[in-house]
């Protein structure tokens, strides 16, 4: 029964993305004095480039799928790129040189560590410094829920990962994802979207649409 309620909770989480924050009226101040304050992610939309480049999302999806088919290491690399590119706080962004080149497909092909369902970690006890140990020793090259099964079997590689199952607050999530693969894949997608919404810059003069995806625009 615990998993049943947990599943319901996880499926309801995406609803918070649709919440619109507004200011209520105060005293005798007219309503028109207040403008609804939308969260930045509310200004994002699929089809933004419909007039300038129809089927943008479809084209990108096809290209990424083709790249990953040729080089499977791009899958975790793109996830890693997504994190570093989307989850940067404002003060960190200002410290970056404006012309810094962001990692592109060719440069990220060697980055093997993405989500912990696949990838590798450096081993200090190994004979060679460059030796890596798979985060998932059972299915190291497959993005599946075996990672969570390993945690339940207490064979997680990293202590920080294994603590997800030893902590009573997060153990139910590990159990749910280990036994319900579809739940994991659907929630992983939701999480990636939420990650992309972190401190997203959408309002006038706050963000930019890059002329070249590999670089931030010059001032």
Range of the domain at 219: 53-111+198-219
Q: Within a domain: residue 60?
A: yes
Q: For residue range 85-113, what is the model confidence (pLDDT) as tens digits?
A: 665 544 344 444 333 344 443 433 333 32
* pLDDT at residue 20, rounded to an integer: 32
Predicted TM-score of the model (pTM): 0.56
Q: Within a domain: residue 90?
A: yes
Binding-site residue positions for Ca(2+): 136, 139, 144
- Where does the pLDDT of residue 176 fall: very low under 50, low under 70, confident under 90, or very high at 90 and above? very high
Binding-site residue positions: 136, 139, 144
Q: Within a domain: residue 190?
A: no
Q: Within a domain: residue 45?
A: no
Q: For residue range 66-78, what is the model confidence (pLDDT) as tens digits?
A: 998 999 888 878 8
* pLDDT at residue 179, rounded to an integer: 93
Count the domains in the chain: 1
Per-residue H/E/C for the chain = CHHHHHHHHHHHHHHHHHCCCCCCCCCCCCHHHCCCCCCHHHHCCCCCCCCCCCCHHHHHHHHHHHHHHHCCCHHHHHHHHHHHHHCCCHHHHHHCCCCCECCCHHHHCCCCCCCCCCCEEECCCCCCCCCEEECCCCCCCCCCCHHHHHHHCCCCCCHHHHHHHHCCCCHHHHHHHHHCHHHHHHHHHHHHHHHHCCCCCCCCCCCCCCCCCCECCCC
């Amino acid at each position: 029964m615990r998993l049943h309620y947990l599943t319901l909770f996880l499926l309801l989480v995406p609803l918070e993305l649709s919440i619109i924050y507004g200011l209520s009226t105060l005293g005798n101040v007219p309503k028109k004095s207040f403008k609804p304050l939308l969260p930045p992610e509310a200004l994002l939309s699929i089809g933004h480039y419909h007039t300038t480049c129809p089927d943008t999302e479809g084209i990108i999806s096809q290209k990424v799928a083709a790249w990953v088919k040729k080089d499977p290491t791009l899958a975790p690399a793109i996830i890693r790129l997504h994190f570093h590119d989307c989850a940067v706080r404002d003060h960190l962004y200002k410290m970056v040189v404006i012309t810094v080149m962001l990692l592109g497909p060719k440069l990220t092909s060697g980055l093997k560590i993405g989500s912990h369902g696949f990838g590798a970690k450096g081993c200090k006890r190994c004979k060679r410094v460059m030796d890596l140990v798979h985060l998932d020793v059972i299915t190291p090259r497959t993005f599946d829920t075996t990672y969570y099964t390993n945690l339940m079997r207490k064979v997680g590689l990293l202590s920080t990962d294994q603590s997800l199952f030893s902590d009573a607050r997060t153990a139910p999530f590990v159990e749910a994802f280990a036994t319900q693969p579809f739940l994991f894949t659907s929630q992983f997608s939701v999480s990636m979207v939420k990650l992309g919404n972190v401190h997203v810059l959408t309002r006038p003069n706050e963000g930019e649409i890059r002329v070249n995806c590999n670089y931030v625009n010059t001032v």
